[in-house]
Chains A and B, each alone.
Chain A
Amino acid sequence: MIVLMVAAAAGPLAGSVAAGCGARARAAGWAGAAGAVISLACSIWLLAAELHRAPVSGWGGYLYLDSLSCFFLFTVAAVTVLAAVGSVAYLAAEEDSGRLSAFQVRLYFIFFGLFAALMLAALETGNLGLLFVLIEASTLASAALVGLEARSSSLEAAWKYVIISSFGVTIALAGTLFLFYSASGLHLAPDLRLTWPYLFGHARALAPESLRLAFLLAVVGYGTKVGLAPMHTWLPDAHAEAPSPASAMLSAALLNTGMYAIMRFLAITRGRLGDGFPRAVLLTFGFLSIVIGVLFMVRRGNFKRLFAYSSVEHMGIIAVALGFGGVLGLYGALLQTLNHAIAKAVLFLTSGDVALRYRTREAAGVTGLLAAAPVTGGALLLGSFAVLGSPPFGLFLSELTIVRAGFASSGAVLPLLLLALLAVAFVAFARTTTGMVTGSAPSAPAAAMVADGSRLARATAGILTGGPPPARATTRDGPDESESGAVLTAPAPHSSPAPVLEAPYRGRWTALAASMPLVVGLVALLVLGLWIPAGLDAVIRHAAAVL
């Protein structure tokens, strides 16, 4: 059992090792993907075994696995597989086009593996202090990914991310401290006084005042990582500036790991202080996040920022679901976590594909995706509807469960408010993405000319179809950006009806790596919307009972 757990956490390190030994993007990427698949296999094995046995504990409580951590382990491992396969395509394309140096590519894979491994390890520890250490370490590893492209905007985003998150997590450490202190009445060895199962088992004996403070500090501190408003300010910048597979990891894995830490504190606090106090805290932060996320989604602009604000919204929904509580609310929260993770991974990987093809991150600069790249366009369209909670997909089911939990536990006002906010989010989000998918695509050279003098431009120059290429600004070109964006939104009169954008990937395997995670993710979402596998259902039930 313990071997499996270690293997699950260490799997993604394969890519780091390969990159550290000097492998190029493709080799390191496939090594990392293989490692991630091993992690996923181990986590499924653990999940299956977990159904029939008590929680596993080892190394003095530093290693601990119950159904809640199993479920999160599975979620994060699944996202890691999707993002690792997507990384192969994205990084290979960036390396081929000369936009990232070989050193940057190697750095990317080293930190990507480290980041994934640290998060998986964080989910396997029962010691709340070690949980803090691992989450903070994963912050640092991911900050290196955010700042990887070393443009001033990405360094700025990375700085904002690392300083705000480190500060936030330090607050969570203070919370952990007070939790430890609240247990000073217990006769336990010091090592065990931070061990979750013991604290949970003895929750009734904890000192209520310092536990209250500990929970508040933990929600604020880990909430900074989760992106709960008003501590979310780093999130859109970091998600917009990181390489897209890393954005997928941030949004679909890192935020969930933070939420997992909050859930651990929540379970202990519920055991001592009852439902009232944690519910008030979580509903406040949750609804604030949903409102902030929805408001900023109305603005049209950088599509990666749009996805990031959608993550703020969804984390708010999960917090609200935890606040509603009850078996239904907790079930909904966990189901929502899994669904959102897969949907957002698909969307961010799509955004990477779009950014590679169009060389812009502005929604206004992207039209006709469905005609130009059917797989990507289709994935973007279906992925947006999935993430917005349209019926055939899993998020419909989980959001419905959460609303039902709200009606069951806290009257009609809050769930109706939630529904109204979801409706606004639907309109705001779909307005932007449908605009990107439909329409006619710009002619091929337009997308390529931006990468000034890049090899990609030279490669595609051969298929110039005539006509002056529209002057397209890169994402960060200052004042004339909006102007040229406006020019682009009006379809050029002489553009051919079915233009071909040069695919940014060389080689069949790289192209496959780009589209495979999108298809697999969407199929998984569809399956989760129509039929929840019995084993998964049982694990979620067990996990909800743990809380």
Chain B
Amino acid sequence: MQSLAATSAAGVLLDLSGVLILLLAFACLGSKLFNRYVAYYGAQSVVLAFAAGVAAQAFHSVELWILAVATLAIKGIGIPVAARRLLVQRLDLKRDAALSTGLSTSLIAGGALTAFAYLVTRPQLLPHGVVAAAVVPLSTAVILLGGLAMVVRRHTVAQLIGWLIVENGVFLGAITLVATFPFIVEAGVFLDLVAGVLIMLVFVSGLTRQLASASAAELRELQG
């Protein structure tokens, strides 16, 4: 049994979580305050942890339970708290002024990307009637929205959050599409994520100390 039926209770719950995760990605894209970026990311991770729990219940999988708890603890609580303490508060970040497009433009682009995600992943790729057919386009859309956030935001902290949203999108796809992904691999992905966030925190702090504002727009020394 690979994929849950879309009409089962677990399937409906997963579908719902997918929609919530997409909405939170949109909320992050449509916001201008650093506090909100972090808050929306944290909320998205909590929903993701819930989705992982639902999948774990449906597949009776201990590994997925472990992943759900780890997601809640690290992505839902650990990273947001660390980002708030170490970046937003310590660097006194409030409004993100380093946007390359207006908020409405980026929201419209996000809508277009969501439609694109449905176009790409819907036909032929996935069989009808399984929950993956509904959730994989959602997770693809979340990946694209995270990428969009990294492109339109020039502040390094915002880019970091964008990457984390991309990671969440991949994870959402992973638990619905292939719930039986080998555990060693999942754990490794998790470790990489934590190490990545740590090293990025170091770089962002270092850059901020040197540049006064760690906006990637000011990263202009290296060109060509």
Contact assessment for A173 and B178 in the assembled complex, using a CB-CB cutoff below 8 Å: no
Chain A residues with CB below 8 A from B143, complex form: 170-171, 174
Contact assessment for B178 and A162 in the assembled complex, using a CB-CB cutoff below 8 Å: no
Q: Could you say which of A140, A173, A209, A301 contacts B189, with CB atoms under 8 Å apart?
A: A173
B173 at the interface (CB under 8 A from A): yes
Chain B residues with CB below 8 A from A272, complex form: none
A184 to B188, CA, bound (A): 22
B17 at the interface (CB under 8 A from A): no
A105 to B124, CA, bound (A): 54
Contact assessment for A133 and B188 in the assembled complex, using a CB-CB cutoff below 8 Å: yes
Please name the residue on chain A nearest to B2 by beta carbon.
A184
A407 at the interface (CB under 8 A from B): no
Q: Could you say which of B120, B206, B222, B224 contacts A157, with CB atoms under 8 Å apart?
A: B222
Chain A residues with CB below 8 A from B192, complex form: 133, 136-137, 140
Chain B residues with CB below 8 A from A157, complex form: 222
A283 to B182, CA, bound (A): 33
Q: Could you say which of A140, A236, A241 contacts B199, with CB atoms under 8 Å apart?
A: A140
Chain B residues with CB below 8 A from A213, complex form: 120, 125
Chain A residues with CB below 8 A from B216, complex form: 159
B96 at the interface (CB under 8 A from A): no
Residue from B174, B199, B216 with most neighbouring chain A CB atoms (10 Å): B199
For chain B residues 76-122, which have a beta carbon within 8 Å of chain A? 120
Interface-side segment among A3-11, A89-97, A148-156, A257-265: A148-156
Contact assessment for B184 and A130 in the assembled complex, using a CB-CB cutoff below 8 Å: yes
A137 to B221, CA, bound (A): 27
* Interface secondary structure of B, over-half rule: helix
Contact assessment for B125 and A210 in the assembled complex, using a CB-CB cutoff below 8 Å: yes
Contact assessment for A163 and B219 in the assembled complex, using a CB-CB cutoff below 8 Å: no
Chain A residues with CB below 8 A from B200, complex form: 159, 162-163
A455 to B68, CA, bound (A): 55
B54 at the interface (CB under 8 A from A): no
Q: Closest CB-CB distance, A253 to chain B, in whole Å? A: 19
A390 to B170, CA, bound (A): 46
A374 at the interface (CB under 8 A from B): no
B71 at the interface (CB under 8 A from A): no
Q: Could you say which of B173, B180, B195 contacts A174, with CB atoms under 8 Å apart?
A: B173
Contact assessment for B124 and A209 in the assembled complex, using a CB-CB cutoff below 8 Å: yes
A414 at the interface (CB under 8 A from B): no
Interface string of B126-149 (1 = CB under 8 A from A): 000000000000000001000100
Interface size on B, residues (CB 8 A): 44
A202 at the interface (CB under 8 A from B): no
A191 at the interface (CB under 8 A from B): yes
Interface-side segment among B6-14, B33-41, B42-50, B160-168: B160-168
Please name the residue on chain B nearest to A476 by beta carbon.
B221
Q: Could you say which of B159, B195, B210 contacts A163, with CB atoms under 8 Å apart?
A: B159
Q: Could you say which of B184, B196, B211 contacts A140, with CB atoms under 8 Å apart?
A: B196
For chain B residues 167-221, which have a beta carbon within 8 Å of chain A? 167, 170, 173-174, 177-178, 180-182, 184-185, 188-189, 191-192, 195-196, 199-200, 202-204, 206-207, 210-211, 216, 219, 221
Q: Closest CB-CB distance, A94 to chain B, in whole Å? A: 19
> Assuming A156-B221, A163-B163, is B185 touching A170 (CB within 8 A)?
no
Chain A residues with CB below 8 A from B124, complex form: 209
Q: Closest CB-CB distance, A242 to chain B, in whole Å? A: 12
B150 at the interface (CB under 8 A from A): yes
Contact assessment for B219 and A156 in the assembled complex, using a CB-CB cutoff below 8 Å: yes
A240 at the interface (CB under 8 A from B): yes
Contact assessment for A127 and B125 in the assembled complex, using a CB-CB cutoff below 8 Å: no
Chain B residues with CB below 8 A from A140, complex form: 192, 195-196, 199
Chain B residues with CB below 8 A from A130, complex form: 184-185, 188
A241 to B200, CA, bound (A): 17
> Assuming A140-B196, A163-B159, A166-B196, is B182 touching A147 (CB within 8 A)?
no
> Assuming A133-B185, A140-B199, is B219 touching A159 (CB within 8 A)?
yes
Interface string of A151-195 (1 = CB under 8 A from B): 011011111101100110011011001101100100000110010
Contact assessment for A177 and B177 in the assembled complex, using a CB-CB cutoff below 8 Å: yes
Q: Could you say which of B159, B177, B182, B211 contacts A181, with CB atoms under 8 Å apart?
A: B177
Chain B residues with CB below 8 A from A144, complex form: 199
Contact assessment for A167 and B199 in the assembled complex, using a CB-CB cutoff below 8 Å: no
**Could you show 8 A-B contacts with beta carbons less than 8 Å apart?**
A129-B184, A132-B185, A136-B196, A147-B206, A155-B203, A155-B207, A159-B156, A159-B216
10 smallest beta-carbon distances between A and B, as pairs: A129-B185, A133-B188, A190-B180, A152-B210, A237-B222, A136-B192, A156-B219, A209-B124, A153-B221, A184-B2
Residues of B within 8 A of A (CB): 2-3, 120, 124-125, 143, 147, 150, 156, 159-160, 163, 166-167, 170, 173-174, 177-178, 180-182, 184-185, 188-189, 191-192, 195-196, 199-200, 202-204, 206-207, 210-211, 216, 219, 221-222, 224
Residues of A within 8 A of B (CB): 62, 127, 129-130, 132-134, 136-137, 140, 143-144, 147, 150, 152-153, 155-160, 162-163, 166-167, 170-171, 173-174, 177-178, 180-181, 184, 190-191, 194, 209-210, 213, 236-237, 240-241, 296, 299, 301, 305, 476
Given contacts A159-B207, A180-B181, A194-B181, 19 further A-B contacts (CB under 8 A): A127-B184, A129-B189, A130-B188, A132-B185, A137-B192, A137-B195, A140-B192, A143-B203, A159-B219, A162-B200, A162-B203, A163-B156, A174-B143, A177-B177, A177-B178, A181-B177, A209-B124, A237-B222, A299-B224
